[in-house]
Amino acid sequence: MTTATAPVAPTPAVSLRRPLRPTRAAAITAFKALLLRDLTVQRKNLKEFIPRTILQPFLLVFVFTYVFPRIGTGVGGGGGRAAAFSTTLVSGVVGMAIMFQGIQQVALPMVQEFGYTKEIEDRVMAPMPVWMVAIGKVVNGALCGLFSALLVFPIAAVVPATPVHLHVNWPVLLTITPLACLLSASFGLTFGTRFDPRQVPILFGVILIPITFLGAIYYPWTSLSAIKVGGFSWLKWLVVLNPLVYICEGFRAALTRSPHMSLWVVYLVMIGFTAALLYLGIKGFRRRVLS
Amino acid sequence: MPRLSAEAEITSVPAPAAGRAEVIRTEKLTKVYPGGVKAVDEIDLGVYEGEIFGLLGPNGAGKTTTTGMLTTTVIPTSGRAWVGGIDVIAQPALAKQVIGVVPQTNTLDRALTVWENLYYHGRFFGMSAKEARAEADFRLEQFRLTDRAKMPVLALSGGMAQRLMVARSILHHPAILFLDEPTAGLDPQSRIALWEILGQLHAQGQTILLTTHYMEEADQLCDRLAIVDHGRLLALDTPGALKRSIDADTVITISADGDLDRLAAMLRDSVAGVDNTQQVDGSVALGVRGSRAALRDVIAVAERGGYAINDISVSEPTLETVFIQLTGKDLRD
């Protein structure tokens, strides 16, 4: 890489108070420090992070797979089918936990920072390109997603009253997990740069709710074939726009033997979504920071 | 997506034997915002090493936009700019190494304590943990914030938050410190405390660029000043030279009811040594040269014209006078 412009000002030399470091090295150091700062903040917030992260999945699993079977209104029917539902829900709950971190760790704080606190401006002045600050947000969000998945998985596996049949496909698990974390954090970046504080209720009500209800959390995507109008499985094809579908289907393939979407499709679409959302998110971030 | 640029090889531009080093240089720097608003219009600036340089102008004059362009957050429409010898437009990430910024709003990291705000800033700028710790301790001491070290930044008063922002902005030893309206919204005591801090930094050789719409601040603090309005640079010199540039050594301001155009004309014709007249806020300001007797004449002329005098004052020319003469309007408008 070379710099095309001749960055020589027509002035005598300025005696810098600190020697200049190469741009790339300085940027890498600054990026690491940014992650270190995020880690410090997460550590401080752990007391809030843990209950916030585990309560919703816990209640979901508790009501659907513990309470319902006990009171005889098991979802998915009784006996073996209830067990199948518990198994289905494991991957859904893990996927949803990761997706939520994208919103909670990336989108919501960013809406605040751009909206009124403006504190992001200090990190933008760190000696690195602006897009690296955005990537820092994504990496932090992805790490939080990973952590929340680790917290939530045991709940989904242990709480249900009916047995959960896990069958871990390690290569798939070890690739789907980071991909899901990055996808969710990029999703958060894109929405965090496009919403202002007044629109947060819309973010929840109009975007997050449909994504979770129609995100293949409670049922495998393939089972939607049964919902047809005039021979066309409309719901199955409507939800292909929902990134959570691929995350949940990916975990379904990684953790269970339940039916799932073709892994090729899962990987390709997840990579495509991540790339597109990262692009849009960084573009949005630059637009909010630079004028 | 922008790439990381190559190695920095531009630190030592050979210095001509004469002349002071310019820490900031702009050439026809221009910013037109979407919608066609020309916030900054072909500004040429040079800021010398070690000086406090002021951008003085009313709100909306283009001061913040100019600072934004020099600190990489506003992308110029045209023109060029160098900070510490680095092309800000071509190498923004590199330029950020040599600048410290105190923006108008409180941008302290609310998730961190007072001390952590300084410590992580040092780490962003490549300091080791040990070095950043020592710098943070030192700056807290210097800015009398040591007893607040472990507090969340939201617990700080406005003046203390401002001090912390200044401490943070110089922690990495920038070649130039930018302050955008640093005393706006501060109580008088905090304002004086900040002036003292800037004076100390100046004594240590820190180059400072500040924007302000307070002329006393510009007058007291700045070695040189640029007066800007509507995005254009109207004058650039030392405060003393700017005031001397007015061909008058005394300003008499007379406030009266009635036709002030007529009053101004009468005064111009009848009072000896009147250099210029300006009308501001229901009063007429006369620049008078070399005439100590002018005050008596002014009163006599006004009374002869049938004007009821509400107020009359005599003063030395101020930057306000300079500004009014350059723009025909009051700085406070």
The tokens for B94 are 């590199």
Q: Does B109 touch chain A (CB under 8 A)?
A: yes
What does the alpha-carbon distance between residue B122 and residue B170 come to, in Å, rounded to a whole number?
Answer: 10
Q: For A29, name the nearest residue in chain B, comparing CA atoms only.
A: B126
The pLDDT confidence band at residue A7, using thresholds 50, 70 and 90, is: very low
Answer for the pair B84, B11: CB distance below 8 angstroms, yes or no.
Answer: no
Give the model confidence (pLDDT) of B160-171 as tens digits.
Answer: 999 999 999 999
Q: Minimal Cα–Cα distance from A39 to chain B, Å?
A: 11
Q: Which A positions 194-223 lie with beta carbon below 8 A of chain B?
A: none
User: Quick check: B132 pLDDT over 60?
Assistant: yes
| pLDDT at position A280 | 95
| pLDDT at position A73 | 66
Q: Does A129 touch chain B (CB under 8 A)?
A: yes
Q: Which B positions 166-195 lie with beta carbon below 8 A of chain A?
A: 168, 172-175
What does the alpha-carbon distance between residue B62 and residue B43 come to, in Å, rounded to a whole number?
Answer: 10
Residue B277 has phi, psi (to 5 degrees) of -130, 145
User: Quick check: B284 pLDDT over 70?
Assistant: yes
A vs B, Cβ pairs < 8 A, gives 185
CB atoms within 10 A of CB B247: 12
User: Quick check: A82 pLDDT over 80?
Assistant: no
Domain range summary for chain A, segments of one domain joined by + = 26-290
| pLDDT at position A84 | 78
Task: Answer whether B6-243 and B247-316 agree in fold.
Answer: no
Q: Does A262 touch chain B (CB under 8 A)?
A: no
Q: Minimal Cα–Cα distance from B110 to chain A, Å?
A: 7
The pLDDT confidence band at residue B331, using thresholds 50, 70 and 90, is: low
Q: Does A275 touch chain B (CB under 8 A)?
A: no
Q: Does A17 touch chain B (CB under 8 A)?
A: yes
Answer for the pair A3, B91: CB distance below 8 angstroms, yes or no.
Answer: yes
The pLDDT confidence band at residue A5, using thresholds 50, 70 and 90, is: very low
CB–CB contact A2 B6 (8 Å) = yes
Q: Minimal Cα–Cα distance from B56 to chain A, Å?
A: 22
User: Quick check: B4 pLDDT over 50?
Assistant: no
**What's at B302, amino acid-wise?**
A
Greater pLDDT, A236 or B291: A236
| pLDDT at position B76 | 95
| pLDDT at position A81 | 64
Q: For A119, name the nearest residue in chain B, comparing CA atoms only.
A: B107
Give the model confidence (pLDDT) of B191-224 as tens digits.
Answer: 888 899 999 999 999 999 999 888 888 888 899 9
Average pLDDT over residues A153-182: 87
CB atoms within 10 A of CB B290: 11
Q: Does B68 touch chain A (CB under 8 A)?
A: yes
Give the model confidence (pLDDT) of B226-246 as tens digits.
Answer: 999 999 999 999 988 888 887
Answer for the pair A13, B85: CB distance below 8 angstroms, yes or no.
Answer: yes
The pLDDT confidence band at residue B7, using thresholds 50, 70 and 90, is: very low
> In angstroms, what CA-CA distances link A252 with A75, A224, B16?
18, 15, 70
Average pLDDT over residues A110-137: 89
Q: Which A positions 242-261 lie with beta carbon below 8 A of chain B?
A: none
Q: Does B82 touch chain A (CB under 8 A)?
A: yes
Greater pLDDT, B129 or B183: B129
What does the alpha-carbon distance between residue A181 and residue A175 come to, in Å, rounded to a whole number?
Answer: 10
User: Quick check: B3 pLDDT over 70?
Assistant: no
The pLDDT confidence band at residue B17, using thresholds 50, 70 and 90, is: very low
User: Quick check: A209 pLDDT over 80?
Assistant: yes
Domain range summary for chain B, segments of one domain joined by + = 6-243, 247-316
Instruction: Give the containing element (helix H, strand E) for B232.
Output: strand B232-237
Span between the terminal Cα atoms of chain B, in Å? 43
Residue B273, burial from CB neighbour count under 10 angstroms (0-12, 13-18, 19+): middle
| pLDDT at position A248 | 92
Instruction: Give the containing element (helix H, strand E) for B314.
Output: strand B309-315
Q: Minimal Cα–Cα distance from A146 to chain B, Å?
A: 22
Output the CA angle B32-B217-B277, nearest 5 degrees.
80
Q: Minimal Cα–Cα distance from A182 to chain B, Å?
A: 19
Share of chain B above pLDDT 90, in %: 50
Average pLDDT over residues A92-115: 87
Query: If you average pLDDT over every residue of chain A, what do you get?
Result: 85
Class of domain B247-316: alpha beta
Output the CA angle B122-B128-B134, nearest 5 degrees.
65
CB atoms within 10 A of CB B250: 19
| pLDDT at position A187 | 94
Q: Which A positions 26-65 lie with beta carbon below 8 A of chain B?
A: 26-27, 29-30, 33-34, 36-37, 40-41, 44-45
The pLDDT confidence band at residue A218, using thresholds 50, 70 and 90, is: confident
The pLDDT confidence band at residue B5, using thresholds 50, 70 and 90, is: very low
Residue A132, burial from CB neighbour count under 10 angstroms (0-12, 13-18, 19+): buried
What does the alpha-carbon distance between residue A240 and residue A269 come to, in Å, rounded to a whole number?
Answer: 9
Give the ipTM.
0.85
Q: Does A171 touch chain B (CB under 8 A)?
A: no
Residue A232 has phi, psi (to 5 degrees) of -105, 125
Q: For B111, name the nearest residue in chain A, comparing CA atoms only.
A: A41
| pLDDT at position B14 | 37
Q: For B100, name the nearest residue in chain A, comparing CA atoms only.
A: A125
Look up the CATH number of domain B6-243.
Answer: 3.40.50.300
Average pLDDT over residues A117-138: 91
User: Quick check: B121 pLDDT over 70?
Assistant: yes
Query: If you average pLDDT over every residue of chain B, what do you get?
Result: 86
Q: For A27, name the nearest residue in chain B, comparing CA atoms only.
A: B93
CB–CB contact B120 A8 (8 Å) = no
pTM attached to this predicted model: 0.83
The pLDDT confidence band at residue B77, using thresholds 50, 70 and 90, is: very high
A23 vs B5, B173, B174: nearest CB: B5
Q: In the block, which residue shows the tokens 């007429």?
A: B284
Give the model confidence (pLDDT) of A149-165 as tens digits.
Answer: 888 888 888 888 778 88
